[in-house]
Amino acid sequence: MIFEQLNDGNCRTYLIASPDTHEAALVDPLLGREDHYLGVLRDRGLSLRMVLDTHVHADHLSACALLRDRTRAEHVVHEQSRVAEGSLRVEEGRRIKVGAIPMDVLHTPGHTSDSMSLRLPDRLLTGDFLFLGEGGAGRTDLPGGDPGMHWDALQKLQPLEDALLVFPGHDYRGNTHSTLGEERKRNPRLQPRSRGAYVAWLQGLQLPAADWMKAVVMANLACTRNNKGIEIPLGGAVCEVGAGCSGVPQMTCEALMSAQEPLVLLDVRNPDEFIGPLGHIEGARLIPLPELPRRLGELEAFRDQPIITICKAGGRSNQAATILQEAGFADARSLAGGMGRWNQLELPAAKG
């Protein structure tokens, strides 16, 4: 299988092609880049059979309609998509093929109602259904979004194997891909929560206004071929909601180092990280994040004291502080930047 990511920025466009039949598909191509994509296909001797939108995008314009004009490739969308065009509408469980390469459709709504993920034999293209690590997943507060539907869709991942590679529609931290097993450990959206708690968490977030996104959605629904007059702000992780948006009270490393009050330090990393190269803060107790909900009893004595949650970079510790808050702990704060920042500042860490 030929598999390449064709963009430089935060939006990901994947080329999937068969070396045997020279048939190719493009997933989530960007308007304005179509000459580049067609040049790549020409250089590789590939013919474009399919262009796919994993969902109606709110942060960039899709090139699918224009690429279909220029190549007669099928424009594949989920059957619930409200795009004006789209020549092949697919449903849950549908298998589409690029040469002999199978791509199975998984309906994974929540970011939008028409979001789909594509399962290839060894990998899952998740669109905005799931990002990498602390990136979490796409926001669920845009038109058509629904946090409860997102929780339901996440349950579809349960039977899938840890080794499955995950390729998202965006990444704002320069990561290319990961595995489902890694996401199960690191992604705040995949930490254990009831459906009710998950919905309450996402609905409680104060996300930046995104009025400009409505204009982008409208243009994509109309299958525009013209990117003039659509303002798309540069930079910023506009699509994602990970742990960093949760409004969790923070404590800086400097403030922790000079704190006079007695603090309970709760490290929520995995045991191998606790004794790994970044070390841990002297006196910290370890409860890995996935175990926290069922081990809250161990913290009962500290219910009214300040508890500082700690992880590697601040993602999991935000989740942990949220879990503590929801369980009624009076003062849970997350260590901003985690042990990564603590070590950057060369503050004392116990190693081994």
Asked if residue 163 lies in contact with residue 183, where contact means CB atoms within 8 angstroms, the answer is no
**What is the Cα–Cα distance from 202 to 146, expressed in whole angstroms?**
9
Q: Please identify, using beta-carbon distances, which residue of 14 and 302 lies nearer to Fe ion.
A: 14
| Whole-angstrom distance, CA of residue 59 vs CA of residue 61 | 7
For Fe ion, the closer CB: 23 or 128: 128
* Main-chain dihedrals φ then ψ at residue 24, nearest 5 degrees: -135, 155
- Which range touches Fe ion (CB under 5 A), out of 122-130, 171-179, 192-200, 333-341? 122-130
Binding residue for Fe ion (CB under 5 A) from 128, 134, 146, 240? 128
Distance of closest approach, residue 326 Cβ to Fe ion, in angstroms: 28
Q: Among the candidate windows 11-19, 232-240, 259-267, 321-329, which touches Fe ion by CB under 5 A?
A: 232-240
Using the minimum distance from each CB to Fe ion, give the nearer residue, 241 or 310.
Answer: 241
Q: Is residue 95 a contact partner of residue 104, using CB atoms and an 8 Å limit?
A: yes
Task: Pick the piece of the chain touching Fe ion (CB under 5 A) from 24-32, 134-142, 208-216, 252-260.
Answer: 134-142
Tell me the C-alpha distance between 114 and 83, whole Å.
10
Closer of 111 and 280 to Fe ion (Cβ):
111
Number of Cβ within 10 Å of residue 46's Cβ equals 21
Q: What's the half-sphere exposure (Cβ side, CA atoms, 13 Å) at 230?
A: 21
Nearest CB to Fe ion, comparing residues 138 and 288: 138
Closer residue to Fe ion (CB): 25 or 239: 239
Distance in Å, CB of 213 to Fe ion, minimum: 9
Rounded CA-CA distance 161/164 in Å is: 6
Scanning 61-69, 123-131, 152-160, 278-286 for contacts with Fe ion by CB under 5 A, the matching segment is 123-131
Interactions with Fe ion, residue window 263-302 (CB under 5 A): none
Q: Are strands 285-286 and 264-267 parallel, antiparallel or unpaired?
A: parallel
Number of residues engaging Fe ion in binding (CB under 5 A): 4
Q: 170: buried, middle or exposed (CB in 10 Å: 19+, 13-18, 0-12)?
A: buried
271 alpha carbon, distance to own chain's centre: 25
CA–CA gap between residue 288 and residue 309 (Å, rounded) = 11
Give min distance, CB of 2 to Fe ion, in A: 25
Report the site for Fe ion in 45-84 (rule: CB under 5 A): 57
Stretch of residues binding Fe ion (CB under 5 A), selected from 9-17, 64-72, 234-242, 272-280: 234-242
Residues that bind Fe ion (CB under 5 A): 57, 128, 138, 239
